[in-house]
Amino acid sequence: MGPPEEEIRRRLERVGQAHLLRFWAELEPAQRNSLWETLVQLDADELGEHCKRAAEACAQEQGGRGQGRLDGDLQPISAEFLGSVCRSDRATLERWEEEGLRQISQDKVAVLLLAGGQGTRLGVSYPKGMYDVGLPSHKTLYQIQAERIRRVEQLASERFGTQCIIPWYIMTSEFTLGPTEKFFREHNYFNLKKSNVVMFEQRMLPAVTFDGKAILEEKGKVAMAPDGNGGLYRALVDNKILEDMDQRGIRYIHVYCVDNILVKMADPVFIGFCVSKGADCGAKVVEKAYPTEPVGVVCRVDGVCQVVEYSEITLESVQMRNPDGRLTFSAGNICNHFFTLGFLQEIAEKFEPQLKHHVAIKKVPFVDEEGNLVKPLKPNGIKLEKFVFDVFQFSKNFVAFEVSREDEFSPLKNGDTADKDTPTTARQALLSQHYRWAVKAGATFVDANGQRIPEKYSLSGDEESPVVCEISPLVSYFGEGLETYLKAKNLQSPFLLDEDVMKFMAQHE
């Protein structure tokens, strides 16, 4: 039982939030109970502090403060702390991959998915992970990721002769937990063991007006929003996830966002690089496509590693180039990170309260003084978020790892009416990658008349692959082992190589 109604009311009045009980007398018992539980959970003092913080942060940002340029303090990541797939020799990459697979084989690696957001910008009401971008197999993002976990487990087991498990932790929100749990149950957890798929919720925070009042979206409901992907660190504590990892013997965690169709789950090369460098924190980056590309840049500010938003750098700095012609500040952040368990424990114990709150100005539906629902035409509310990468500053040994954009980064953010990051661009990115794998393995594609389709080894921008070729993650994690099935084979588009086709081809060698 929480405190009595009058005590809650007094506490809310003390922190300037008594308006949340404005319609109490009109509420049904179930509505009262729901609102009561929310208010008890929020705690009046914390609520008051949150609303004050939101209003002050918003005023500061709109006043132009907090958006200062950092140019004089900026430095790129030092070469000794920067690895690269593109600029490393084959032997080095194989050594890192070997180390990563060794750690996986010893059950020391977990993956953690950030999946608290809905597919609103995509034009759907369900979690992004449930989205089908239109592949021949019609696999969803969740299924693709699950199958990559299974395949990399298999690769590590084969390499070191042991059975191993990569636990999959999935951070959801109030909006995505139920649908995600249901989806996984309906698909039998994509043949992963249920106990190794751990779902948990991040916190929800009230949306706030510009004058510091929590917003009622219904007479008996406070408008809430997830606390950003940086809410991960509080959620790890609230849901005892760090204890679960420790009990399983996990030492290294790969954290990523749900919407990247090309993500390499528990990437052995990335894991191996970070472990070899003794890193406690690492970030995958891609080279910026052009100087003014609106992405955050991983760099150093006053010697401290962090992600600097493109709005914080002047055009002069953005356009700076090294003697080799490459951009000086080229390391684009893609929300793909490595953490040691020890580092996450230290963040949870010491540094989480110090993480900066970022302001997002949104249109938030609300009820007016008379209780009428209003859907605003312009932004009227503040949502505070923390960002997952804001912990880089606390790292004792931070590294960055540059990967190929065409092989590892194609986010799904917008509906097909947009010009980038759409279902079409995500689908094309994956099919183009699989086409390159097949050609490299020695396959030849022919048309309906048996005529050879000329190979295109490099595709520019949004250029489509000349054929439709999809390869199941259960067959190949990153292009490995395909020569056995595809070398010197004539394939007709569309071509789907799944486990059944693989077995058929193996039997008819």
Tally: H helices and E strands in the chain: 15, 23
pLDDT exceeds cutoff 80 at 71: no
Residue 180 confidence class, pLDDT cut points 50, 70, 90: very high
The DSSP letter of residue 221 is E
pLDDT at site 66? 47
Tens-place pLDDT, residues 240-291: 999 999 999 999 999 999 999 999 999 999 999 999 999 999 999 999 999 9
- Determine what percent of the chain is predicted with pLDDT higher than 90: 84
Question: What does the block give as tokens for 88?
Answer: 């490393």
Q: How far apart are CA 407 and CA 405, in angstroms?
A: 5
Contact 447, 453 (CB under 8 A): yes
Question: What does the block give as tokens for 135?
Answer: 């592949």
Q: How far apart are CA 362 and CA 305, in angstroms?
A: 30
Q: How far apart are CA 53 and CA 354, in angstroms?
A: 13
* Pairing of β 197-201 and β 168-172: parallel
Residue 72 confidence class, pLDDT cut points 50, 70, 90: low
Residue written as tokens 């957001």? 117
Q: How far apart are CA 415 and CA 458, in angstroms?
A: 26
Per-residue pLDDT, averaged over 170-196, amounts to: 97
Give the 3-state DSSP-derived string for 27-83, with helices as H, strands as E and coil as C.
CCHHHHHHHHHHHHHHCHHHHHHHHHHHHHHHHHHHCCCCCCCCHHHEECCCHHHEE
Residues near 186 by Cβ (< 8 Å), separated by ≥ 6? none
pLDDT exceeds cutoff 80 at 69: no
Q: Taking the model in full, what pTM does it have?
A: 0.93
Tens-place pLDDT, residues 285-303: 999 999 999 899 999 998 8
Contact 83, 399 (CB under 8 A): yes
pLDDT at site 507? 72
Choose the weakest-confidence range: 67-71, 150-154, 342-346.
67-71
Among candidates 351, 339, 357, which has minimal Cα distance to 394? 351
Tens-place pLDDT, residues 22-57: 999 999 999 999 999 999 988 899 999 999 999 999
Q: How many CA atoms lie within 13 A of 96 on its CB side?
A: 22
pLDDT exceeds cutoff 80 at 68: no
Residue 70 confidence class, pLDDT cut points 50, 70, 90: low
Contact 329, 71 (CB under 8 A): no
Other residues' Cβ atoms within 10 Å of the Cβ of residue 497 = 23
At 179, give phi and psi (nearest 5°): -60, -35
Whether a cis peptide bond, with omega within 30° of 0, leads into 494 is yes
Other residues' Cβ atoms within 10 Å of the Cβ of residue 398 = 25
Q: How far apart are CA 59 and CA 213, in angstroms?
A: 14
Query: How many angstroms separate the first and last alpha carbons of the chain?
Result: 70
Burial (CB count within 10 angstroms: exposed 0-12, middle 13-18, buried 19+), residue 98: middle
Q: How far apart are CA 397 and CA 105, in angstroms?
A: 25
Burial (CB count within 10 angstroms: exposed 0-12, middle 13-18, buried 19+), residue 385: middle
Q: How far apart are CA 492 and CA 470, in angstroms?
A: 12
Return the biggest CA–CA distance within the chain: 81
pLDDT exceeds cutoff 70 at 375: yes
Tens-place pLDDT, residues 417-426: 998 999 999 9
Question: What does the block give as tokens for 152?
Answer: 């990399």
Question: For all residues of the chain together, what is the average pLDDT?
Answer: 93
pLDDT at site 97? 98
Question: What does the block give as tokens for 286?
Answer: 């891609």
Question: What does the block give as tokens for 334?
Answer: 């893609």
Question: What does the block give as tokens for 202?
Answer: 């991040």
Among candidates 469, 509, 466, 463, which has minimal Cα distance to 489? 509
Residue 2 confidence class, pLDDT cut points 50, 70, 90: low
pLDDT exceeds cutoff 80 at 138: yes
| Residue positions counted in the chain | 509
Tens-place pLDDT, residues 395-424: 999 999 999 999 999 999 999 999 899 999
Q: How far apart are CA 502 and CA 495, in angstroms?
A: 12
Whether a cis peptide bond, with omega within 30° of 0, leads into 353 is no
Residue written as tokens 């949306």? 207
Per-residue pLDDT, averaged over 154-172, amounts to: 98
pLDDT exceeds cutoff 70 at 334: yes
Contact 253, 231 (CB under 8 A): no
Q: What stretches of 63-174 show up as alpha helix (H) in DSSP?
A: 90-105, 141-160
Beta strands, E only, 202-287: 204-206, 216-218, 221-222, 224-226, 252-257, 281-287
pLDDT exceeds cutoff 70 at 460: no
Q: How far apart are CA 40 and CA 49, in angstroms?
A: 15
pLDDT exceeds cutoff 50 at 198: yes
